[in-house]
Amino acid sequence: MTTGGPAVEARDLGKTYRVGWRRSPVEALTGVSLSLGRGEVLGILGPNGSGKTTLLKLLLGFVRPTAGSAETLGLPAGSAAARARIGFLPEEPGLPGGLTPREALDLHGRLLGHAREARRRATSESLARLGAAPLADRPCRTLSRGQARRVALARALLGAPDLLLLDEPTAALDPLFERDLATLLAERRSAGAAVLLCSHLHGEVERLCDRLAVLWGGRLLRVGPAAELLADPNGLLVRARRLPAGAAEEVAAALRARGAEEPSVRSAPRAIADLLDEILREQGRERGTAP
């Protein structure tokens, strides 16, 4: 792990939105304080709407906080100097449909200030590393969701950034590539880069992260080593409704439990992680108590 201070430092970070005609503002993030060391992979875990994407937007300077402050790589969050050293993978790839992946990455390299030959070489290497070289000269609008995801991740890795911010990195990717992603993150960590990974899939962050931070309702509930949080003996209660036919029985059997219309399982967090991943794969709807 390299020295030089944390890669991310957030202090009492908060963001409040006013939505439509609502009289009361929506608190998307409230009093979040966390630190990410260089050479570390930190997973932000929480359900949809918990504030994960808002946190990334604040660290990138896409929105301004209504409370607190944040620094990335020792610089004010959102500053041009900090952004030039950050690789960002958004939840939606956002590739320009009229360009090819090669052109899109070359444009990104130009915006980063890379010289022509350097960005050409980096573009080819990054696409090849993500298995996207065969897609390099196809229009981005013709790519499948999974293919676009690979290209967007290749763009995030362009120039070997010191900090990676990844929003749902394995969405639409095949299981084989999830294994490759773990290798890729290990390489960046060993090079001293820091990674902040947001996900609602418990199994994903368990495999990829050194530490976990749990967001719930815009508040940071717990932060600690992944093994420690997932070994918590207190347990959780999760109920799932409206699963496809047969899914409830399959999940219940996997956890040696029995369910009816609303199957529920009380178990250790590792078992709950398996349950939630199965529910999400089956496109069900889940409810859970906060840890």
Q: What is the pLDDT of residues 246-280, one digit of tens each?
A: 666 666 665 544 333 334 444 445 555 565 666 66
* pLDDT confidence of residue 284: 44
Q: Is the pLDDT of residue 236 over 60?
A: no
* pLDDT confidence of residue 255: 53
Task: Please state the rounded mean pLDDT for residues 136-158.
Answer: 94
Nearest CA to 31 among 53, 41, 49, 16?
16
Q: Is the pLDDT of residue 181 over 80?
A: yes
Q: Which CATH number fits domain 1-85+164-172+193-229: 3.20.20.100, 1.20.1330.10, 3.10.580.10, 3.40.50.300?
A: 3.40.50.300
* Rounded-to-integer distance, Cα 233 and Cα 163, Å: 33
* pLDDT confidence of residue 32: 96
Q: Is the pLDDT of residue 166 over 50?
A: yes
Task: Please give the model's pTM, rounded to 2 decimal places.
Answer: 0.77
Task: Please state the rounded mean pLDDT for residues 69-77.
Answer: 96
Nearest CA to 171 among 145, 210, 140?
145
DSSP-derived letter for residue 84 is T
3-state SS assignment for residue 30: strand
